[in-house]
Structure 1
Amino acid sequence: SSGFIGLLGAGLSLLTIAGNSIVILSFILERSIRQPSNYFIASLAVSDLLIGLVSMPLYTAYILTAKKWSLGEFFCDLWLSVDYTACLCSIYTVFCITVDRFCSISIPTKYRAWRTERKVIFVVFFVWLIPILVFFTTIFGWQYIIGKRTVPGDKCFVQYMEDALFNCLLQVGYFWITLVAMVGLYSGIYKVGWLTGWLVG
């Protein structure tokens, strides 16, 4: 029922907001945990907080109104841009955490010397910049690229999804390639861990 969906959506949003707010506040207030690798955890918490604050409540409301959008074109595109940006930032941050773990295990001495606070902040900056450029440009700009807006006034969805080729290439570029790379890195992590355990044993 709509009441159950509303309660479930609100509950999940509040849990997401509360959990990630605690992580962010801990990172800000507790100097001892402000280590270079933990900047990735803070970045992940920020992206997930945005999902809890913006994406989940608006999507729940959209479902409860039988997918009737009443906030206008600008806020539709803004919601979608923030949602897609936060999700991709989350994916890229998890990828950075995986790279961080792989390098920490495979080349610990060299990597720890290289992994300074400034360099990690630089990486986190690009983790956010790339999704912002990709999605704010394509979601807000697609109607100008093709010369018209095809999203009905009472609906809200990403217009470029109507272009199967572009949508496919974009998803392969930002999701599937990242996923395959992460699987390869985790395989390397487990391999190094297994060899280390075998040698020690």
Structure 2
Amino acid sequence: MPTNLTTSANLTTSANHTTQQSATNYNFPALIFGLLLIVVIICGNLLVCLSVYKEKALKTTTNYFIVSLAVADLLLAVLVLPLFVYAEFQDGVWSLNMTICDGLMTMDVMLCTASIFNLCAISIDRFIAVSVPFNYNRKHVDQRQIVLLSATWILALAVASPVLFGINNVPNRDHSECKLENNNYVVYSSVCSFFVPCPIMLLLYCGIFQGLRRWEEARKAKLKSSMQACQKFEEPPASLLPLASLPPPLPPVIENDFTDLTLKKTNQDPVPDSPYTVDCKNGPVASLTFSDSGYNQDQNQEKKRAKINGRERKAMRVLPVVVG
């Protein structure tokens, strides 16, 4: 009997010690920081989605790509980060089912890849807008942009799908950790999610920069030629006679006779051979208008190009911040 009491007392003591030790292993700073990060990500991406949904002026094709990026980040904060924060709160120990772990790894890879692919799709869309601005529809989503948005999510799912088919189930798997276990798949997902899209984005943004610089140089050259033409038009003619070479004024008697003769001629009927006197007598002469449709079309195209490239310069300042 004393032996049983001693054994039960030792078990109770060891259980209490284990409970206290596990309680001290909780990582409260990681929990607080993780919850704050989740709240900030959810609020920020919800504001982006609501802004585009509510404001009609923001419903442009570029903003639809940004909404797709915001949705990927929002799903990451809702579906993936809470379980990671829970695992970090338990000092990195995974205490849930391994099936949940595989689903978590699938969502993590897919949503992170979708975010990077959305950034790549934005750079492709901006490059098309700079290269062929007249064929770019910024107010309505066309077939090309639907294909880009669909390919972004389909390719992201394709990169993450091997985890669903059990590639993470390796021999001697540690059930106390939730991570990608297959090293070959880690290399594959890294190449597809980062090392391929990153050079593509860099090349596209270099092309955008070169296109905007060429357009700016052409605009400056055209403005310079227009200013030179205006200066030539405003220069006084060099064929005017100086004041010293003008004839002397008429004597008073001859000047009076000349004035009377001019008044008599103006009161008479107009000369039939004159092509302008009848119109001047009946009313004002009709003004001439130039309605050259080609000229107006060129002017409208120049305005549209200037408007589009103005947006591209703004995008060049904003998108590197987003990519970073």
TM > 0.5 between the two?
yes
**Counterpart residue type for residue 66 of structure 1:** D
Structure exhibiting the larger radius of gyration computed from Cα positions: 2
Deviation at 1:87, TM superposition (A): 0.6
Root mean square deviation, CA, Å: 2.4
Q: Mean alpha-carbon deviation: is it higher for 115-124 or for 69-78?
A: 115-124
Q: Are the aligned partners of 1:143 and 1:149 in contact in 2 as well (CA < 8 Å)?
A: no
Residues in 2 aligned to 1:170 and 1:2: alpha-carbon distance in whole angstroms: 30
Q: Is the 8 A contact 1:102 1:186 kept in 2?
A: yes
Shift of 1:91: 0.3
Of the candidates 151, 155, 165, which is equivalent to residue 141 of structure 1? 165
181, 184, 190: which one pairs with 1:171?
190
Report the counterpart of residue 174 of structure 2 in structure 1: 152
Instruction: Look up the SS of the partner of 2:175 in the other structure.
Output: coil
Which residue of structure 1 aligns with residue 214 of structure 2?
A: 195
Shift, 1:180, TM fit = 0.6
Q: Which structure has more RCO (C-alpha within 8 Å, separation ≥ 6)?
A: 1
Q: How does 1:51-200 map to 2 (within 5 A)?
A: 51-112=76-137, 116-135=141-160, 137-143=161-167, 148=170, 150-161=172-183, 163=184, 166-200=185-219
Task: Kindly indicate whether residue 66 of structure 2 is the aligned counterpart of residue 44 of structure 1.
Answer: no
Is this contact kept in 2: 1:37–1:120, CA < 8 A? no
Cα separation, 1, equivalents of 2:35 and 2:53: 27
Query: Which ranges of 4 or more aligned residues in structure 1 deviate by more than 4 Å?
Result: 147-150
What fraction of aligned residue pairs are identical, expressed as a percent? 25
One-letter amino acid of the structure 1 residue matched with residue 193 of structure 2? Y
Measure, in 2, the Cα distance between the counterparts of 1:143 and 1:105. Answer: 42
Query: Size of the alignment, in residue pairs?
Result: 194
More helix per residue: 1 or 2?
A: 1
Q: Which whole-Å CA distance do the structure 2 matches of 1:151 and 1:129 have between them? A: 29
How far off its partner does 1:22 sit? Answer: 1.6
The two structures have a TM-score, normalised by structure 1, of 0.84
Matched, 1:24 2:49: yes
Q: Distance in 2 between matches of 1:117 and 1:31?
A: 18
SS in structure 1 opposite 2:166? helix
- Residue pair 2:109, 2:159 contacting (<8 A) in 1 also: no
Q: Equivalents in 1 of 2:59, 2:171: separation in Å?
A: 45
Checking the alignment, whether the CA contact within 8 Å between 1:104 and 1:111 is kept in structure 2 is: yes
Which amino acid counterpart does residue 187 of structure 1 have in structure 2? Answer: C
